A and B are shown apart, each in its own frame.
Chain A
Amino acid sequence: MMPRDIGILGYGETRHVKRTERTQFSFFAEAGRKALESAGLDKSDIDGIAVSSFFLAPDNAVTLCEQFGLSVSWAWQFTAGSAGPVAGVIDALHAIDTGRANVVLCLAGDVYSVARHYRLMENFNHSLYNYAAPHGFGGPNGLFGIIQRKYMETYGLERAQLGRIAVAQRQCAMHNENAVFRVPLTLEEYLDARIIADPIRLYDCVLPCAGADAVVLGALDRIDAPKRVRVLSGHERHNHLPEEPCPLSGGWETFRDRMWNEASFGPRDMHFVQAYDDYPIMVAIQLEDLGFCEKGEAGPFLDAHDLTWRGDLPLDTNGGQLSAGQAGAGGGLMSVVEATRQLRREAGGRQVAGCERGVVAGYGMVGYGHGLSASAVVVERGG
């Protein structure tokens, strides 16, 4: 169970950019300062750190503290790919609950690019290095192309149904000044886009970019009630399903009942979903595994809902990684930042009217065929 008197006090985010001269530390510094300001706290309040980044080495959570002049009693470092930042928030809340720290700064991000993406994925782990890269696998695009085709052939999903995700998220991104893609995207453009790893085309893929995200966690009574964001429940699952290279489900299905029970809410009570959108097919699978619809029903479910911030199922209201860009591991925390922004009613032109609660999911650590890790939290506004 999650502690109910501890939660998210502030958030920060840098602009996502395709090219930069700035260092990773510089992006973390900007996101961290903004999060601290959003929380109304002082640097001296921070006594815990959690950091997620693919390219932090040879640095780590501790040397980051040296860079930033922080002395902390608790330090957590990234695992589980972009399921990691959400898991880090869960761990940090428990660390505060057990007295390991009072205020934790969670950071995630990378100075990421297309070239860095391919190099990272070739060397991501032993199974990809040894048993995928020598086949010319095309990075995750090739692997998720297999999963998407398998899903389409198994359940009859059509690309136009997945396209609803990319098109709706682009409409949200047009109201997100930090997003890399802010021009309209039509369903026709989605369907006719350049082939990357058939059936995956250009707008099924995220654009690697540079940026960072941050949240500050601590006792909720440190800030005014309307700005408080409580984490009602949260779970993670790793290596689901063992020895199955291309499953049509993810780890969310193992914990979703427990997560909803602990939150005392269900999927229908959610006012938004901040899903992990490395590919639209994984958003579809995530919606099923989180219990929004039955397995195999994602296509009709997507058809039946308006996925924009004005709709009946607001999805990735910052534009998601598909439109805002993927700042490496920042993609796993960007969703927490957006959920917090929405619940504080600070989302400007893409504000979900009257939202009180939502669900945030993470996914990542691509191994031999699929993302091994899944995470999710249910979050609620103030009070």
Chain B
Amino acid sequence: MADDARYPRPLVDADNRAMLEAWREGRLVLQRCAECGRVASYPRPLCPHCWSERLGFEAASGRGRIVAWSLVHRPNHESFFAEAPIVLAEIALPEGTNVIARVVAEPESVRSGRPVEIVSEPERYPLPTFRLAGEGEG
């Protein structure tokens, strides 16, 4: 995986450290508010729904469903050029939030509505990344 280090990487901070460390171990965790019970799309210093500071990370199913997607022929960073086109998708997670993430898949197979699951190579991808899953698994 000589390519990994060249991908742009998120800045690790106090808000996102737990999420990024979990991903390094191949786990998807989401930030849930202990007061209102809702989930944030990406880690925050306070609940974006109710402004509570009682936030915690919990294990997510790692599954979701593609809401819509684009096929990026011209990625922002040169480290992705050899892999273009890249599938970028809005993914609805059953935990109750939508995220934007890469789906590693043959573009011809990608459809809105298809179930996805997290990939098993967290060392390669800087952020939780998805692949197509079988129907019924989403």
Contact = CB atoms under 8 A, between A and B. Distances in A.
Given A146-B100, A153-B68, A245-B41, A196 B73 contact: yes
Contact of A135 (B48, B84, B85, B88): B88
Interface residues of A, number: 40
Given A142-B70, A199-B70, A243-B41, A137 B76 contact: yes
A143 B73 contact: no
Interface of A: 118, 121-122, 126-127, 129-139, 141-150, 153, 195-200, 242-246, 368-369
B111 to A, nearest CB: 10
Given A136-B7, A146-B100, A368-B41, 13 more contacts: A136-B75, A136-B88, A138-B73, A142-B75, A142-B88, A145-B72, A146-B69, A146-B90, A197-B71, A197-B73, A246-B100, A368-B42, A368-B100
Interface in B71-128: 71-77, 79-80, 83-86, 88-90, 97-102, 112, 125-127
A149 B69 contact: yes
A137 B10 contact: no
B72 A141 contact: yes
Given A150-B68, A198-B71, A135 B90 contact: no
B61 interface: no
A146 B42 contact: no
B67 interface: yes
A203 to B, nearest CB: 14
Contact of B127 (A135, A138, A148, A149): A135
Interface of B: 7-11, 16, 40-42, 48-49, 67-77, 79-80, 83-86, 88-90, 97-102, 112, 125-127, 129
Contacts, number: 139
A141 B74 contact: yes
Q: Is the interface of B mostly helix, strand, loop or mixed?
A: loop
Given A131-B127, A198-B70, A245 B99 contact: yes
A122 B77 contact: yes
Contacts of A126: 11
A369 B8 contact: no
Nearest to B102: A135
Contacts of A129: 8, 10-11
A242 B38 CA distance: 13
Contacts of B99: 245
Contacts of B8: 122, 129, 133-134
Nearest to B107: A198
Contacts of A132: 100
Contacts of A118: 76-77
Contacts of B7: 134, 136
B10 A149 contact: no
Contacts of A127: 42
Contact of A138 (B75, B90, B101, B125): B75
B126 A134 contact: yes
Contacts of A122: 8, 76-77
A149 B70 contact: yes
Contacts of A139: 76
B7 to A, nearest CB: 6
B97 A146 contact: no
A299 to B, nearest CB: 17
A141 B70 CA distance: 9
